[in-house]
């Protein structure tokens, strides 16, 4: 068959052909106009023909191309494109952005940022410290007795045992208090957020790592009344303006006096339910007046300065606000969980 005859027969086909679906149209397009299709082959041969024949054959080729394109366009109007018909499989573009790329803030980030906002309004800044910490910042400077159980391998992950300079994954963010008091000028009003580690079996109620936010205020004349007012303000901002708090006497080596703060149970409103175990109160944080020994350890004169500190678990607050009853959900990165926030 000569070149002209091949063009004519394809032109006749293009005029007659009935494309009955998007798939058929796509197949036809590939056969004629595709990279290895008839059209390209014809153009290759077209390059080789005598110059005096080029005008005629060229016109015929263009006529064919237009006829094929019109047919395909017609099919597209009738059936949509093949990509739409088969969900893009026919022409899969790996570089195209995924439709559902809008991310979600992690619930713990949402809570942490809310804590920053609330304390930021009353002048608290943010301090940072390392997750791998030495014994002095973690325990000794915080007034822990040498035989305190937190110094035991059973409770703490030690990274390296090296005589007195034991190095561990920090068990609490109170270590950042020490760094801040040593480094920052007074007065100090700061939050120390971060991940902490404990040697616990992982379950719905305990995890080997979780998140805390520590608070510290050191100045002349800071009193327990200041601590109470600041924590009441926080509880009302975080859990609602009607929230009540109570401070129960407690013990921490680094505060004296020490207390634990409860809020009236947000679920039963104080009547008693499963969450508050029938007491009407749920514990939120530990707090107290910075022990004079701790101030001294950081080079601050406890006769001139005083301070308060508090520490809370971010997961605990997220549990209360979002009713998440399995701690593991926070670190499994299951999109079905994360997409809810
Ligand atoms: N560090 C304590 C813990 O991990 C929490 C805490 C209690 C921090 C009392 C404080 C505080 O600053 O004053 O359980």
Banded model confidence at residue 101, pLDDT cuts 50, 70, 90: low
Percent of the chain at pLDDT > 70 equals 94
Instruction: Give the model confidence (pLDDT) of 154-183 as tens digits.
Output: 788 988 665 555 899 999 999 999 999 999
Distance 189 CA to ligand 1 centre (A): 16
Of 38, 52, 33, give the one whose Cα is nearest residue 3: 38
> Which residues does 281 contact at the CB level (< 8 Å), separation at least 6?
246, 262, 263, 264, 265, 270
Phi-psi group of 251: left, alpha or beta (phi > 0 → left; psi -120 to 50 → alpha; rest → beta): beta
Distance 287 CA to ligand 1 centre (A): 6
pTM over cut 0.75? no
Please check the confidence at residue 82 and state whether its pLDDT lies above 70: no
Instruction: Give the pLDDT score at 149.
Output: 81
Instruction: Give the pLDDT score at 88.
Output: 46
Q: Is 194 in the pocket of ligand 1 (CB under 6 A)?
A: no
Q: Which residue has the tokens 């798939």?
A: 23
Q: Is 286 in the pocket of ligand 1 (CB under 6 A)?
A: yes
Tokens of 117: 């906002």
Q: Is 192 in the pocket of ligand 1 (CB under 6 A)?
A: no
Please check the confidence at residue 87 and state whether its pLDDT lies above 70: no
Instruction: Give the pLDDT score at 176.
Output: 98
Q: Is 313 in the pocket of ligand 1 (CB under 6 A)?
A: no
Q: Is 294 in the pocket of ligand 1 (CB under 6 A)?
A: no
Distance 134 CA to ligand 1 centre (A): 18
Q: Which residue has the tokens 């608290």?
A: 124
257 prior amide bond cis, ω within 30: yes
Count CB-CB contacts under 10 A for residue 49: 15
Q: Average pLDDT of 247-273?
A: 91
Query: Ligand 1, atom 13: nearest CA belongs to which residue?
Result: 287
Could you give the angle at which helices 51-79 and 38-48 cross, rounded to 10 degrees? 170
Strands (E) across the chain are located at 125-126, 132-134, 158-160, 167-169, 188-197, 209-219, 245-252, 255-264, 281-290, 306-313
CA atoms within 13 A on the CB side of 161: 5
């Amino acid at each position: 068959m000569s070149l002209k005859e091949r063009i004519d027969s394809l032109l006749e086909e293009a005029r007659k052909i009935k494309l009955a679906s998007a798939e058929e149209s796509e197949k036809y397009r590939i056969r004629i106009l595709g990279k290895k299709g008839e059209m390209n082959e014809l153009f290759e041969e077209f390059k080789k023909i005598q110059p005096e024949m080029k005008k005629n054959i060229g016109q015929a080729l263009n006529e064919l191309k237009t006829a094929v394109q019109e047919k395909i366009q017609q099919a597209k109007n009738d059936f949509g494109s093949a990509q739409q018909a088969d969900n893009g499989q026919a022409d899969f573009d790996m570089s195209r952005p995924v439709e559902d790329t809008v991310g979600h803030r992690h619930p713990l980030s949402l809570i942490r940022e809310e804590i920053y906002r609330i304390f930021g309004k009353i002048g608290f800044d943010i301090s940072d410290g390392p997750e791998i910490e030495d014994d002095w910042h973690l325990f000794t400077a915080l007034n822990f007795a040498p035989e305190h159980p937190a110094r035991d391998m059973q409770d703490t992950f030690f990274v390296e045992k090296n005589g007195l300079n034991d190095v561990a994954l920090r068990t609490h963010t109170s270590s950042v208090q020490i760094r801040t008091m040593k480094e920052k000028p007074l007065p100090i009003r700061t939050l120390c957020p971060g991940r902490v580690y404990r040697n616990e079996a992982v379950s719905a109620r305990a995890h080997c790592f979780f998140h805390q936010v520590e608070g510290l205020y050191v100045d002349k004349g800071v009193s327990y009344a200041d601590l109470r007012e600041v924590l009441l303000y926080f509880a009302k901002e975080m859990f609602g303006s009607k929230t009540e708090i109570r401070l129960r006497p407690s013990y921490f080596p680094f505060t004296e006096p020490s207390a634990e703060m409860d809020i009236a149970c947000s679920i039963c409103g104080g009547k008693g339910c499963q969450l508050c175990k029938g007491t009407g109160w749920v514990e939120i944080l530990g707090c107290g007046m910075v022990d004079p020994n701790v101030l001294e350890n950081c080079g601050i004169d406890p006769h001139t300065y005083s301070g308060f500190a508090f520490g809370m678990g971010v997961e605990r607050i997220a549990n209360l606000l979002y009713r998440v009853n399995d701690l593991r959900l926070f670190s499994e990165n299951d999109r079905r969980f994360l997409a809810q926030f």
